[in-house]
Amino acid sequence: MSALFAFIIIFPTVVFVHELGHFLFARMVGIKVEAFSIGYGRSILSWVDKHGTKWKLGLFPLGGYVQMLGQNDLPGKTEKAKNTAEAAQHFEHKTAGQRAMVIFGGAFFNFIFAILVLWGYFMARGEPKVIMSQVISVVHGSSAEKAGIKEGDLIEGDVQKIVNESGGDFVKLVINGQEKWLEPKEDSGRYVIGVAYNLSPTEFEKLGFGAAAVKSVSFTWEASGRTLSALGQIITGARSVRELGGMITISEVGGRALDAGFMPFLFILAIISINLGLINLIPIPMLDGGHLFFIGLEAIIRRRVPEKVKLVAFNIGFGFIILLMIFVNLNDIMRLFGI
């Protein structure tokens, strides 16, 4: 039940923040926003504001969109401005810089939202000072099993970080208050001891207004770097694609955080907002990063990219995203059934 409740909160929140970024930047540069929707399918709630924007809440809250005058994700379907007055509010009649700013606005707001949430988190709860890794499973025949590590054991610090920093040499771990030496094994470019674990901060130090602000920015930057690094390792094969998760994984993580309390849930909400912003900036057609790529290319060649080229790229990108969505959610289902 916690996972479902977390899903209902997390997805609409981070999507709303993302689309709000597009919306506000579009308004800033004078583009008419025709619709702002959270969710897809039949509208269960809608109204039109004084600027002519239709605000909608869709039946299926799995995404959202901002529909701007003259902007269409499908190449070749964009309508030209009918007159001078409409051209002034038309997406395609804005400069490359203005259109790029509107497209980037979604991810930008996800990062700003995460920073604000983390700012409050570090002031209210504090920065983790003592971190424990709680073992949730042990690989048969691994160094961990040979050392007598069992499910539920608490290991001081972030196990993976400590093991990786060992460079493959014997590493000292403090397990349930006792020191043990283990020999890491190399696996796909990294060192492992054969445990799966959850990080569990046990002591926090509250930060002041300024220190919390600095920490929230640095943490967002570092979290972004870690995510990009992990994606790079998955692409190169250094990490398993089985680590990718979909909606079920996000809901489960959010549910566990919610069970732990409001502050842990806020922390997870910020992390998911960061990841949504990053994913949308990947230069794949259909995603914001794909649109930014073509706008950047347009600025370099000083003319519009042919619609036929965009259409081919769109179809490739669309196919890739559909396959990726199927794969990550299939991963989730396989984990549920222990496959």
Tell me the catalytic residues: 19
Beta bridge partners of 197: 135
Q: Around Cβ 144, how many Cβ atoms within 10 Å?
A: 27
Distance, in Å, from the CA atom of 203 to the CA atom of 259, rounded to the nearest integer, reads 18
Helix (H, G, I), strand (E, B) or coil at 291: helix
Distance, in Å, from the CA atom of 192 to the CA atom of 240, rounded to the nearest integer, reads 13
Q: Around Cβ 282, how many Cβ atoms within 10 Å?
A: 15
Do residues 114 and 275 lie in contact, with contact meaning Cβ atoms separated by under 8 Å? no
Torsion of CA 303, 305, 306, 309, to 10 degrees: 160
Q: Around Cβ 87, how many Cβ atoms within 10 Å?
A: 15
| φ/ψ (deg, to 5) at 178 | -115, 140
Three-point CA angle 265, 19, 302, nearest 5°: 135
Question: First-to-last CA distance in the chain?
Answer: 23
Do residues 172 and 181 lie in contact, with contact meaning Cβ atoms separated by under 8 Å? yes
E strand spans, 49-126: 54-68
Do residues 156 and 176 lie in contact, with contact meaning Cβ atoms separated by under 8 Å? no
Distances (CA, A) of 6 to 56, 248, 250, 262: 22, 11, 9, 11
Q: Quick one: which of 271, 273, 299, 302 has its CA closest to 101?
A: 299
